[in-house]
Amino acid sequence: MYGFLLVAICLFLTMHKPIGIFDSGVGGTSIWKEIRKKLPSEDTVYLADSINAPYGVKSEAEIIELSRKNTEVLLSNNCKLVVVACNTATTNAIDYLRNTFNVPFIGIEPAIKPAALRTKTKKIGVLATKGTLTSSLFHNTSKLYAEGITVMEQEGKGLVELVEAGKENLEETEILLRSYLEPMQNAQIDCLVLGCTHYPYLIPLVQKILSPNVHIIDSGKAVAHQTKVVLEKENLMDISNRKGKALFYTNGKIDVLHNLVKGSHVSVKYLDF
């Protein structure tokens, strides 16, 4: 009887712990928005490691070290599960994180499989960071799901920095993006995979550049769905009806982050981490 009560109390206390989310900067807020929609009762703690952005040009060892540091900060904030809201960190560090820390991790990687299933021209484009495109996880996924399909890989050099600077709608961003997307359009891709969580903020420009029959795919909704599945499976889900609190920490500039997430129950703070 007491044992049962103790388990019930533990479950109750754990379910109110926050979900931790990290990214190299503000891009992972595109994932946070999907998680918020799917799991509105959950508290969340988000870390934007903007001072170290971009991760995509760093070595695997550096990305692992930064991912370790971010996870430790989230765990010190009592997080019950960690969402790695960064393709570059997932593709380089998720195995290390899962082997090192004792909480469930949800990762994100470019959505090659849905694109491969959907394409009719048998040509798909992937826009991602160098760190993602050169990772063995990306390479293996591509090999597994895209057999017989031409995958045009393009490094989105400079795009993360533009989003970090709040320049997602400016002409200089459009010019750079055009130089990456027009060769794919000319090669007749019919699916474009956004392989970086900063890129959903560029969708209005992407739609302006590409013809409407190119389908744009990102993994945000799938990550939110998977987060729910794991919370349920591990008995970690907050089943109350309250609205969860969302706390954002950045070690960069507050204003860009604040503009992307402002709303009720949201607070954005500077943290030196």
Q: Closer CB to ligand DGL, residue 15 or residue 57?
A: 57
Number of chain positions touching ligand DGL (CB under 6 A): 17
Phi and psi at residue 191, to the nearest 5°: -140, 135
- Tell which one of 55, 138, 180, 249 touches ligand DGL (CB under 6 A): 55
According to the binding rule CB under 6 A, does residue 129 interact with ligand DGL? Answer: yes
Residue from 20, 54, 110, 200 in contact with ligand DGL (CB under 6 A): 54
User: Which helix (H) or strand (E) segment is 29 a member of?
Assistant: helix 29-38
Touching ligand DGL, residues 181-200 (CB under 6 A):
196-198
Q: Is 135 in the site for ligand DGL (CB under 6 A)?
A: no
Q: Is 23 in the site for ligand DGL (CB under 6 A)?
A: yes
The yes-or-no answer on residue 196 being catalytic is: yes
Q: How far is CA 152 from CA 49, 143, 184, 211, 217, in A?
A: 29, 13, 7, 17, 14
Burial (CB < 10 A; 0-12, 13-18, 19+), residue 96, is middle
Q: Which of these, 238, 162, 171, 233, lies nearest to 208 by C-alpha position?
A: 171
Q: Which residue, 22 or 238, is less far from ligand DGL as judged by CB?
A: 22
Kindly identify the residues of this chain, within the stretch 30-49, that bind ligand DGL according to CB under 6 A: none
70 binds ligand DGL (CB under 6 A): no
Binding mask 72-111 for ligand DGL (x = CB under 6 A): --------------xxx-----------------------
Residues comprising the chain, all counted: 273
> Considering beta carbons, is residue 194 or 246 the nearer one to ligand DGL?
194
Integer CA distances (angstroms), 67 to 52, 99, 137, 197, 217, in order: 11, 13, 16, 16, 25
List 17, 20, 24, 135, residue binding ligand DGL (CB under 6 A): 24
Residue placing its CB nearer to ligand DGL in the complex, 25 or 237: 25
Using CB under 6 A as the binding rule, the residues of this chain from 206 to 245 that contact ligand DGL are: none
Contacts of 250 (CB under 8 A, 6+ apart): 25, 26, 47, 48, 50, 257, 268, 269, 270, 271
Beta strands in the chain (DSSP E): 19-23, 44-48, 81-84, 105-106, 123-128, 150-155, 191-195, 215-217, 246-250, 266-270
Determine phi and psi for 214, rounding to 5 degrees: -90, 120
- 74 or 196, CB closer to ligand DGL? 196
Report, in Å, the least distance between residue 180 CB and ligand DGL. Answer: 15
The binding site for ligand DGL (CB under 6 A) comprises 23-24, 27-28, 53-56, 86-88, 129, 132, 160, 196-198
Active site members: 86, 196
